[in-house]
Chain A
C-alpha cells in the first residue's frame, strides 16, 4: 500500500488505519515530547494530545511533506507550547508567592503537580535553565537531533529549513548550552 492509499484510508476516519499510524509513530512522538519536556508524565500526556490533534486534523493535511514529518512537527509545536505554558505557570506562581496568595495563583494556573521533575532536581533545573536560554530554533534543532535515530535531513524537514542551516544551528546551540551551563 502506498502512502497515498494509506492517507485516503486515514482521511475517511478508518480507525484501524489510524491505529497503524499510531503504532508506527508513537515511540518517536513520545521521545520528541520527552526530549523537550524532560518529564515522563508530561511527555505521555502531550504525546496523546499530538495523536488526538493528528486524528482531527488529518482532513487538512495536504501532503506537502511526509505524513510522519507532519506528525513530528505537531509534536514539536505542542511540546514548545507546553513549555511556554509551564513557564507562564511558574511566573504566575512566583508572583503569587511574592504577594502571599499562593493558593489563588495555583488555582489560576492549575498547578496541581508542583514537584513533577526528573529525579535529579538540581541537575534538571540547571539543564532546563540552560535550554531556556537558547533561542527557540537552536533548542528545537538540538533537541530533535538528540531523539534517537534522527538525521540532520529529518530535523531539517521537520523544521522546514535546509540541512546546512540545521548544522549551523546545532553547532551554535552546543556552544551556547556549554556557556549557559558554566
Chain B
C-alpha cells in the first residue's frame, strides 16, 4: 500500500523536463529534411513479410517446374536415342 502511494506521489511530483540545446538542434535538422511519412509500422512489415513468403513460394514452384520439365525433356531424349538405337540394331540384324 505504501509502495503504491509512493508511485502515485512519484507521478504527481514528476520533475518537469527542460528542452536542451541538442533537442532544439535535432528539431531544426528534422525540419530541414524533406517531409516524409514515418517509418513503416508493424502491419506494413507483416504485409511485406507475407509478400516475401509468397514470392519465395512462387520461385520455389517455378524452379520445381523447370527442373521437372528438364527431367522430362532429358528422359524423352534418352527414349528417342534408345529407340533409334534399337531400330538401327534391328535393321542391321536383318
Contact = CB atoms under 8 A, between A and B. Distances in A.
B17 A146 contact: no
A44 interface: yes
B41 A178 contact: no
A108 B1 contact: no
A27 B18 contact: yes
Contacts of A158: none
Interface stretch (B19-27, B67-75, B84-92): B19-27
Interface in B39-94: 39, 41-42, 45-46, 49
20 contacts: A22-B27, A27-B17, A40-B17, A44-B23, A47-B19, A48-B26, A48-B27, A48-B30, A51-B27, A56-B35, A108-B42, A108-B45, A109-B42, A123-B7, A126-B4, A127-B11, A130-B7, A146-B11, A178-B4, A182-B1
Interface string A115-151: 0000010010011001000000000000000101000
Given A27-B18, A40-B17, A110 B8 contact: no
Interface of B: 1, 3-4, 6-8, 10-12, 14, 16-19, 23-24, 26-27, 30-31, 35, 39, 41-42, 45-46, 49
B81 to A, nearest CB: 51
Nearest to A143: B11
Contacts of B26: 44, 48
Contacts of A27: 16-19
Interface stretch (A29-37, A60-68, A69-77, A159-167): A29-37
Interface of A: 22, 26-27, 30-31, 34-35, 38, 40, 43-44, 47-48, 51-52, 55-56, 85, 88-89, 92, 107-110, 120, 123, 126-127, 130, 146, 148, 177-178, 181-182
B52 to A, nearest CB: 12
Contacts of A89: 42
A43 B19 CA distance: 10
A30 B17 contact: yes
A35 B7 contact: no
A181 B14 contact: no
Contacts of A148: 16
A161 B12 CA distance: 23
Contacts of B6: 123
A48 B30 CA distance: 8
B26 to A, nearest CB: 6
Given A34-B17, A35-B14, A47-B23, A177 B8 contact: yes
Nearest to A148: B16
A26 B19 contact: yes
